[in-house]
Amino acid sequence: MTAEPLEIYLEEQDLERGLREDVRAGLSAEQKWLPPKWFYDARGSELFEEITRLPEYYPTRAERAVLAERAPDIAALTGAKTLIELGSGSSEKTRLLLDAFTRRGGLGTFVPLDVSVSALRASTAEIAADYPGLRVRGIVGDFTRQLDRLPTGGRRLVVFLGGTIGNLLPGERAGFLAAMRAALEVGDWLLLGTDLVKDPSLIVPAYDDAAGVTAEFNRNVLHVINRELGADFDPAGFAHVARWDADHEWIEMRLRATRPMRVRVLDLTVAFATGEDLRTEISAKFRRAGIAAELAGAGFAATDFWTDPEGLFGVTLAQA
């Protein structure tokens, strides 16, 4: 089957308004910050795919190992008719689930949702071609905002992989899980991928690779703002920083000004002192008990928890 036309709940102008609001709020704050979702234009999505292949970036390989082993269990336990993927990107690992559901039979519809039109166009076309008989409905949307638009009817399994939930701040995370639960019916399922707390000597290089791909990915947000909002950031004036925050158990990516700069963006002039940081991402790492507790707080019951053989990455199955 060919994929159905993308359903666009996030128009170009909504995206640009969101970016303007985030840039205004983040760059006028005392500690400057930007939300990580703005990394993912076409170039940023490509750079992220490149990151997933780096020797230092273990989460993708570890999560793939879990899914490769457990996909048949997940298909059997959930018996889903509809598989919804939030922040789907290339949906590369999700194919392990689609393969298991195809062997088992019964899955009718796959619904990937992502902010990146380019990533969705490619992934929906390829998946529709490779899984004949599967209805593929791509949704262009923001997983923190479009949860009330998810398709209804039939047992649903929502998958949120890659550890992307770790990019939300704890308060945002609780709000997201509650909204997710509200969007589901009792009996529907959530499959959640989370990177696990481990020695920072393993985590830090995953976010500061030797080849400098993550540094380019980090600086890409400045290129996005220059292009979309006509700003005049000099990306070369910022150094990539990855820093483990032991209190919060998250890794932060920052862009550190290497000289004093004044940046014109919107109607703002934003001054950076040498050494001043712009925080661009947090990526929280989790513990099994914490995941179950957060899920329970949102009205989900965690029924299964699996890791890769090395215990690097966790995948939790939970029921609404």
Q: Does residue 44 touch ligand AVJ according to CB under 6 A?
A: no
Q: Does residue 59 touch ligand AVJ according to CB under 6 A?
A: yes
User: Residue type at 182?
Assistant: A
> How far, CA to CA in Å, does 276 sit from each of 141, 222, 261, 270?
33, 15, 10, 12
> Any binding-site annotation on 201?
no
Site string for ligand AVJ, 210-239 (x = CB under 6 A): ----x-------------------------
User: Which listed residue (110, 143, 207, 238) binds ligand AVJ by CB under 6 A?
Assistant: 207
Q: Does residue 112 touch ligand AVJ according to CB under 6 A?
A: no
> Any binding-site annotation on 32?
no
Q: Does residue 82 touch ligand AVJ according to CB under 6 A?
A: no
Which residues in 268-287 contact ligand AVJ (CB under 6 A)? 281, 283
Q: Toward ligand AVJ, which CB reaches closer, 101 or 238? A: 238
- Which residue, among 102, 59, 53, 47, has the nearest Cα to 202 in the 3D structure? 59
Cα(24)–Cα(259) distance, integer angstroms: 22
Site string for ligand AVJ, 134-173 (x = CB under 6 A): ----------------------------xxx-xx------
Q: Does residue 35 touch ligand AVJ according to CB under 6 A?
A: no
3-state SS assignment for residue 172: helix
Cα(16)–Cα(109) distance, integer angstroms: 30
Q: What is the DSSP letter of 38?
A: G
Number of neighbours of residue 5 by Cβ within 10 angstroms: 9
Hey, what are 277's tokens?
């940081």
Q: How far is the CB of 102 from ligand AVJ (least distance, A)?
A: 26
> Any binding-site annotation on 7?
no
Q: Toward ligand AVJ, which CB reaches closer, 42 or 129? A: 42
Q: Toward ligand AVJ, which CB reaches closer, 283 or 316? A: 283
Q: How far is the CB of 310 from ligand AVJ (least distance, A)?
A: 17
Tokens 């950076």 -> residue:
272
> Any binding-site annotation on 143?
yes
Cα(75)–Cα(80) distance, integer angstroms: 7
Element (H, E) at 225: helix 213-229
Cα(25)–Cα(93) distance, integer angstroms: 35
* Binding-site sequence positions for L-histidine: 57, 167, 207, 281-283
Q: Which spans of this chain sit near ligand AVJ (rule: CB under 6 A)?
A: 51, 59, 162-164, 166-167, 207, 214, 281, 283
